[in-house]
Amino acid sequence: MHQACPSFKIPSVDTLKAQFDAFFSTMHLKFENIFDNISHLALTCDIWSEMMTVTSYLGVTAHYLHDDRLVSRCIAVALDQRHTGDYIADKLREICAGMHISLEKITAVVTDNGSNMTAGIANFLEKNKHLPCFAHTINLIAESAMSVNDFSSLVSKVRDIVKFFKSSVILSDSLRQKQTGSQPLKLI
C-alpha cells in the first residue's frame, strides 16, 4: 500500500473500532427516529447459525410504509441461550425497546412454523398476530407429501423415465418426434 499511495496511513484497530461505533450509534438513532414516526409495521423473524463461530442469531426485519413505498430494516442479535419461546420473546422485547418499536404498532409477525417461534410470538404479542411463513408452510407440505410411500414411488419412477430419455440424444430426439403439437414438452 505504501508504494501505491505513500501518504496513506493504515488506520489502527482502535480508530476503526471508534469509527464503527460512531456509525452504529448514528444508524441506531436514525432507526429510533424512523420507528418513533411510523404508525404500523410488520416483523419477520428467523434464527440462523453461523457455523465458523458456532453462534446463533435472531434476525428481525421490520417492514413499514414510507411515502407509499415498502421499506425494510434488518436487525440481528446474537443468541447465547437455548432458543426457547420465552427466550425468543425476551429478545424480541429487548430489540423492540432498544429500537423504539412500540408493541402496539406491530400488526403481524411472520416466522417459520417452529414451535419455539410460535410460542415466542404468542408470549411476545397476542397469539393472533403470528403468521406462519407461507413459503415455509408450502415446503413442509411438499416434504410431507414426498414422504408418503405411494407418492415417493411415483416420483422415483418419473425420475427414472427422465434419466432414461436424458441419457441419450437419440432417445430424446425420438421422444420429441413422437409428441404432437406445435411446442414439444421438455423433460424436467
At 178 the pLDDT is: 82
Could you write out the DSSP letters of every residue in 37-56? T-S-EEEEEEEEEETTTTEE
Mean pLDDT, residues 40-53 taken together? 91
Asked whether residue 120 falls in the same domain as residue 43, the answer is: yes
Asked whether residue 74 falls in the same domain as residue 140, the answer is: yes
* Span between the terminal Cα atoms of the chain, in Å: 52
Asked whether residue 24 falls in the same domain as residue 44, the answer is: no
Asked whether residue 15 falls in the same domain as residue 79, the answer is: no
At 9 the pLDDT is: 84
Q: How far is residue 72's CA from residue 110's CA, in Å, rounded to a whole number?
A: 14
Asked whether residue 108 falls in the same domain as residue 57, the answer is: yes
* Contact assessment for residue 55 and residue 61, using Cβ atoms and an 8 Å cutoff: no
Average pLDDT, the chain: 88
Q: How far is residue 45's CA from residue 55's CA, in Å, rounded to a whole number?
A: 17
At 1 the pLDDT is: 57
Asked whether residue 31 falls in the same domain as residue 109, the answer is: no
At 48, which amino acid appears?
W
Decide which of 5 and 32 is more confident.
32
Q: How far is residue 163's CA from residue 14's CA, in Å, rounded to a whole number?
A: 59
Number of domains in the chain: 3
Residues 87-117 pLDDT 10s = 999 999 999 999 999 999 999 999 998 999 9
Asked whether residue 61 falls in the same domain as residue 117, the answer is: yes
For residue 68, is pLDDT > 60? yes
Decide which of 86 and 149 is more confident.
86
Structural domain of 9: 1-37
Q: pLDDT-derived band of residue 52, with 50, 70 and 90 as boundaries?
A: confident
Asked whether residue 59 falls in the same domain as residue 112, the answer is: yes
Asked whether residue 67 falls in the same domain as residue 112, the answer is: yes
What's the predicted TM-score (pTM) here? Answer: 0.69
Q: Which residues 6+ apart lie within 8 Å of 185 measured at CB?
A: 179
Asked whether residue 102 falls in the same domain as residue 157, the answer is: no
